[in-house]
Amino acid sequence: MRPVMIVVAFLAALWSLFAAVGYFRNVSYYNRLSATSLAVISIILGAIYAFICVVEAFGIFAAVTQRVRLTRIFAWLTGLIFILVVGTGLAKVVIHFALKNTIINTCIDSVDGGTYYFSGFWGPVTSGTIDTATATDWCNRSWNRGSWSEIISFLCTSFLAAMFASIAFGFYRQVLDPSSVANAWRAPATARNDTFPSHYAPPYVGGGGQQYPNTAPPYAGYSSNNYWVPPPGGPPPVNDASKPPGYEGWGYGAGTNAAPPPDNKDPFAGGEPYRGPATALPQRGDGRSDV
């Protein structure tokens, strides 16, 4: 949000600077036409817009440095700016209608007797002098157009001031929150740990720092720490009554050190002994022996 805050503060400072310069330039114009009330109003409005320009310049500095204290001050000052912008916009609308005659008469005095010029793109240049009737008609139409422009300007500037204030408070909340993405990026790689957003890949840790700053350590079989810790307690019992019997040397459940059963015999002991060629029995015609 810091780039957004810098751009918004820069645009607001530029707008308020142009407004302040315009109102200060109108002071000499109104004094020359003996419109003292309009000159005083121009001084007040120019001072307000100059103050807004200074505050916005301070906001740019606070956004660049990202200091919590400066950001807090600027956030509360944007609330004051919102009040000033709404107040000046409403005051300009009221002044436009309340001082209608003064504004129109000042305009007529400024235009009456002046010289106008008309020139075509290819045609000759013509000129003439503005009379009182033409000046009155032109100034009245100018005031009527200014009525709508003042109202629309009041609504637009009030909305923009509210939006700028909300952006400033949102930026202050982001700077104040240590778990925000902006603070996670701004912190050193060795100090991010859990504040680094999990949906981003962990940064490369150059030089020193923790061995595993943002991820779990590797599998123990691949670790460089070659040591073994025996499990707590002694070895498990040989026979467990809560488990079914397992197969062991001489049958089920006999135990590892049990003696062979008494009737253990060779399953092939009762068979016919081996006979070699010399002791072979005579064969019958069908291939079977006589035994």
132 vs 32, 38, 139, 227, CA distance in Å?
Answer: 19, 22, 10, 105
The pLDDT score that the predictor gives to residue 79 is 92
**Residue 130: its pLDDT value, please?**
78
Amino acid at 116: Y
The full 3-state SS of 275-289, as one line of letters, equals CCCCCCCCECCCCCE
Find tokens 């840790």 and name the residue. Answer: 205
Q: Is pLDDT of 141 > 60?
A: yes
Task: Render pLDDT for 166-205 as a digit per residue (tens, 0 to 9).
Answer: 999 888 888 887 566 555 555 554 554 555 455 555 555 5
- Measure CA of the first residue to CA of the last residue in the chain; give whole Å: 106
Max CA pair span of the chain? 159
> Per residue in 226-282, pLDDT tens?
556 666 666 666 666 666 666 555 555 555 555 655 555 555 555 566 666 666 666
Q: What is the mean pLDDT of the chain?
A: 75
Q: Give pLDDT tens digits for 21-50.
A: 999 998 988 888 888 889 999 999 999 999
Q: Which comes out higher in pLDDT, residue 43 or 284?
A: 43
Q: What is the pTM of this model?
A: 0.58
The residue among 231 and 12 whose pLDDT is bigger is 12
Contacts of 95 (CB under 8 A, 6+ apart): 41
Least confident of 14-18, 27-31, 87-91, 244-248: 244-248
